[in-house]
Amino acid sequence: MRQFVKRCVIAAALVALGIAGTAMAYADWTLPAGRHTVTANVVKMPRGTAPSVAKQAAKAIVSWSAQEVAPGVRMDHYIVMAHSTEDRPLRDVIHTIAATGGDSESVSFAAAEVAGGRWVWTIVPKFRLWTGAESGKSRGLTFPEVSAVPALAVEANAIPPATHPGSDKSTDPTADLTVSPTAPTEASTTPAATSTPALEATPSPSETVSPAESAPPEPPSATGESSPAAARE
C-alpha cells in the first residue's frame, strides 16, 4: 500500500511539473514597472543678446540679433527694457514685442518715453511661458527734456508708454509710424540693422517707404538730438 502511495506521489509530481513547464512556456510574460530608463533633455533659455541703440530724431531705436531656443526655433517674443541711468532714475520703460522671425529685431522708444533722461537698454528673450536671462546693457543715450521736443508729441499712432509687458502693439507695422522732423539730416544716421517694419520712415535713399508711412510731415520743430556721433550704434 505504501509503495502504491509513493508511486502516485511521483506520478503527480511529474504531471505537475509537466503542466507547469507547459504553462510557463506559453504564458504571456509582462514587463513590470521597469528597470530601464532613458533621459530626455530640455533646452535652457539663453541669455539675451546685448542690443545696439541709435538715436533717431528724439526717439531711440533698439536693435538686436534674433535668438533661438533650439536649433532652428527662434524666440517668439522679446522684452526690451530701457533703464534710466540718471542720479534720480526714471521709471523703466518696458516693451514686449512679438518676434518678426527675421535675423534681427528692433523696436523704437517714442520721444515721450525717453525724453529727459539717459538710458541703457537690455533684452530678455521669451518663448511661450519661458523667459531667459536679461542681456548685458547697451551703450547709453541721452535725450533732451520733453519741453525741448514739443512737436514729437504729435506722433501718429505712437507706442503708448510701454509699461505693460505683454503688449505687442509695438510690433504692429502701423503702430510706430512717425515722420522725422529733421528728415534730411536723419537720413545719414538711420541704423542699418533695423529691419523691422516698426521703424520710422526716414527718407533714406536706400529705404522703401510704405504707403502707410507717407503721413504728412510734422513741422521741423524738434531739437534734433541727432548728431551722427550720437545716433550710430
Partner 1 sequence: MRKSRFTAPTLTAVLVGAYFAATASTPTTSDDATMVLISRNGEKDYGSMHFALSGRSVQSLYPGATRQMKLTVVNPYGFRLRLQRLTGKVITSSRRGCSPTAANLAIKEYDGLLPVTVHAHQRVTMAGSIPVTMPRSATEKCAGSRFIIMLSGWGGRAER
Residues that bind partner 1 (CB under 8 A): 2-3, 6, 9-10, 13-14, 17-18, 20-21, 24-45, 69-71, 73, 127-131
The residue whose grid cell reads 535725450 is 143
Q: Measured from the CB of residue 112, what is the shortest distance to partner 1 in angstroms?
A: 33
Q: Measured from the CB of residue 35, what is the shortest distance to partner 1 in angstroms?
A: 5
Q: Measured from the CB of residue 25, what is the shortest distance to partner 1 in angstroms?
A: 6
DSSP letter assigned to residue 103? S
Q: Output 65 or 131, the one with its CB closest to partner 1.
A: 131
Q: Measured from the CB of residue 50, what is the shortest distance to partner 1 in angstroms?
A: 21
**Residues in CB range of 22: below 8 A, 6 or more apart:** none
Which of helix, strand or coil describes residue 14? helix
Q: Output 69 or 175, the one with its CB closest to partner 1.
A: 69
Q: Output 20 or 154, the one with its CB closest to partner 1.
A: 20
Of the candidates 160, 164, 165, 176, the residue with the CA atom closest to the CA atom of residue 57:
176
Q: Measured from the CB of residue 1, what is the shortest distance to partner 1 in angstroms?
A: 13
CA distance 129 to 219: 44
> DSSP assignment of 155-221, as one string?
-TTPPP--B-TT--GGGSTTTT----TTHHHHGGG--TT--STTS-----TT----GGG-PPPPPS-
Q: Output 85 or 131, the one with its CB closest to partner 1.
A: 131
Q: Output 43 or 192, the one with its CB closest to partner 1.
A: 43
For the beta carbon of residue 96, count every other beta carbon within 10 angstroms.
21
Q: Measured from the CB of residue 182, what is the shortest distance to partner 1 in angstroms?
A: 44
Q: Output 30 or 206, the one with its CB closest to partner 1.
A: 30
